[in-house]
Structure 1
Amino acid sequence: MNLALWIAAGLLAVVALGGGITKTFLPKSKLAAQHGGEWTENFTPAVIKSLGVLELLAALGLILPAVLDIVPVLVPITATCWILLMIGAMIAHGRLGQPKLVAVNAVYLALAAFIAWGRFVIEPFAG
Structure 2
Amino acid sequence: MNLVLWIATGLLAAVSLTGGITKTFVPKGRLTALNGGEWTGHASVGFIKTIGFLEILAAVGLILPAVLDIAPFMVPVTAVCWVLLMAGAAIIHSRLGQFKLVMVNLGYVAIAAFIAWGRFGLEPLTG
* Common fold: TM-score over 0.5: yes
Q: 1:109 corresponds to which residue? A: 109
Using the size of structure 1 for normalisation, the TM-score is 0.99
Map of 1:118 onto structure 2: 118
Opposite residue 6 of structure 1, the aligned amino acid is W
Q: How does 1:1-127 map to 2 (within 5 A)?
A: 1-127=1-127
Q: Structure 2: which 5+ runs fail to align?
A: none
The alignment partner of 1:103 has SS state of: helix
Aligned partner letter, 1:97:
G
Aligned residues: 127
Write the distance in 1 (CA, Å) between the matches of 2:55 and 2:13: 9
Task: Give the CA RMSD over aligned residues.
Answer: 0.6
**Normalising by structure 2, what TM-score?**
0.99
Aligned residues: percent identity?
66
Aligned-pair distance for 1:41? 1.6
Matches of 2:125 and 2:69 in 1, distance apart? 9
d(CA) in 1 for partners of 2:36, 2:66: 33
